[in-house]
Amino acid sequence: MARKIGGLKQLGSATPLPKSPQEAELERVPNPHQDTPYIARFTCPEFTCLCPITGQPDFAHFVIDYAPRAWLLESKSLKLYLASFRNTGAFHEDATVGIAKRIVELIEPAWLRIGGYWYPRGGIPIDVFWQWGAPPEGVWIPDQGVSPYRGRG
């Protein structure tokens, strides 16, 4: 029998991939360093969803930076949530901003930004950026490290 960790439903147990983002459950854990301003980063270089019009696959590289307050985003639940988009139709802008807003709603960070670096379809890459709040003073916020799409060569 799998053990549950700190009341979390997914961490420490076999968890099936949710069928949709609406079915996926994001989880949070207490921040042990609430008194220290810092930035946490999640990188998802292999995000996949479907074009809601054509059903063709779309691919993105996401970088999510946030300054936590009382809560941290639990990483396994984020992985399952992001993977749940695999068979879901979503426009680039809706997927990127929707993911960030769901995280903000759950963990109420001091600051969050997301960079959605989408691979081209139809010859046009669409990069989507969204920020919530202001970064805490004095924290180091590194560049997201993803180059703009330049094509081949």
For 67-86, write each residue's pLDDT tens digit.
999 999 999 999 999 999 99
Burial-class residue 7 by CB neighbours within 10 Å (0-12, 13-18, 19+). Answer: exposed
Burial-class residue 99 by CB neighbours within 10 Å (0-12, 13-18, 19+). Answer: buried
Q: Which domain holds residue 52?
A: 28-133
- How much is the average pLDDT of 3-13? 61
Reading the block at residue 82, the tokens are 């992001």
23 sits in the region (left: phi over 0; alpha: psi -120 to 50; else beta) called alpha
Residue type, 30: P
Does residue 9 form part of some domain?
no
Residue 12 has what pLDDT? 59
How many domains does the chain divide into?
1
Residue 6 has what pLDDT? 62
Tell me if the pTM is above 0.85.
yes
Does residue 90 form part of some domain?
yes
Q: Please list the residues that pair with 30 across neighbouring strands.
A: 71
CATH number at residue 75: 3.30.1130.10
Catalytic residue among 35, 49, 58, 127: 58
For 78-134, write each residue's pLDDT tens digit.
999 999 999 999 999 999 999 999 999 999 999 999 999 999 988 888 999 999 999
Known active-site residue 58: yes
Catalytic residue among 49, 51, 127, 143: 51
Residue 3 clears pLDDT 70, i.e. is over it: no
